[in-house]
Chains A and B, each alone.
Chain A
């Protein structure tokens, strides 16, 4: 079995998003990880990508959920369920 060749900076750069998302194959994850351990430039790019994504994720998730949302949705479903089960023409 041959050992995979180390990745170049360009190859790592092209896979950085997928690496952050853990969407690469296991072999590719290892190869990118190995490269980032040796290359400070690419490690900096990785840190940037991960930081920016996490910051966006945190900010976008700041949503005020209405406290009575669940009750309103379930009440609406119950009303719809009663309407659906009422025979047509029933007063």
Chain B
């Protein structure tokens, strides 16, 4: 099946099929690019570059297949190959897992405390910093999960990794994000001084 095209006077045929599909994902792609790069100009550059690559590669796109996953794969590949090089090294954050019970107790303590209402009081900058502290691979999985509500299988397709790898990266990203947020919140005097309750 060929893409619907309309000849433009004096120009190349206009690919309405591609444009319709692209417009449907553009705003969310920008949001994803912003969370990946942490920079407004870089986010727009990334989206522009991905759109160009997608336009050129569109003849190879299988009609009826998942355009969103196809486009995000292009965007992520571009991010890894180009923008990743330009980012400063993120702060080193230990990914050594606390025992799950201990982690859960401290999160439960912070989030259950009505006086702190932690996440509401954290400003956007703190959340950006927490996301920025994730390694690129984990941040990519987390951004696709949080921003796009992508099922695990689609994330695996976009990142071209096995499903088990997606589960593992998401698990670690979510745990690390929660730990970072708690740590940042304490630095800013948020949270509670109550002792954590014992796990059952």
Contacts and interface: CB of A to CB of B under 8 A. Distances in A.
A31 to B, nearest CB: 19
Given A82-B11, A85-B11, A52 B107 contact: yes
Given A48-B112, A69-B30, A76-B52, 11 more contacts: A18-B167, A21-B152, A23-B151, A60-B127, A60-B143, A63-B35, A65-B30, A72-B48, A77-B19, A82-B12, A84-B12
A60 B27 CA distance: 14
A80 B124 contact: no
Q: Classify the interface of chain A: helix, strand, loop or mixed.
A: helix
A19 to B, nearest CB: 13
27 contacts: A13-B104, A17-B174, A18-B167, A21-B151, A23-B167, A44-B108, A48-B104, A48-B111, A56-B119, A56-B177, A57-B146, A59-B127, A60-B35, A60-B131, A61-B146, A61-B147, A65-B30, A66-B44, A69-B27, A73-B48, A73-B51, A74-B19, A76-B52, A77-B52, A80-B52, A81-B12, A82-B12
Interface in B111-159: 111-112, 119-120, 122, 124, 127, 131, 143, 146-147, 151-152
Contacts, number: 95
B170 interface: yes
Contacts of B151: 21, 23
Contact of B178 (A52, A57, A82): A52
Interface of A: 9, 13, 17-18, 21, 23, 41, 44-45, 48, 51-53, 55-57, 59-63, 65-66, 69-70, 72-74, 76-78, 80-82, 84-85
Contacts of B178: 52
Given A21-B152, A45-B104, A69-B30, A59 B170 contact: no
B128 to A, nearest CB: 9
Contacts of A82: 11-12
B25 to A, nearest CB: 11
A30 B186 CA distance: 38
Interface in B1-53: 11-12, 15, 19, 22-23, 26-27, 30-31, 34-35, 44, 47-48, 51-52
Interface in B89-121: 100, 104, 107-108, 111-112, 119-120
Nearest to B152: A23
Contacts of A18: 167
Nearest to A61: B147
A53 B111 contact: no
Given A13-B100, A21-B152, A56-B119, A45 B108 contact: yes
A44 B122 CA distance: 23
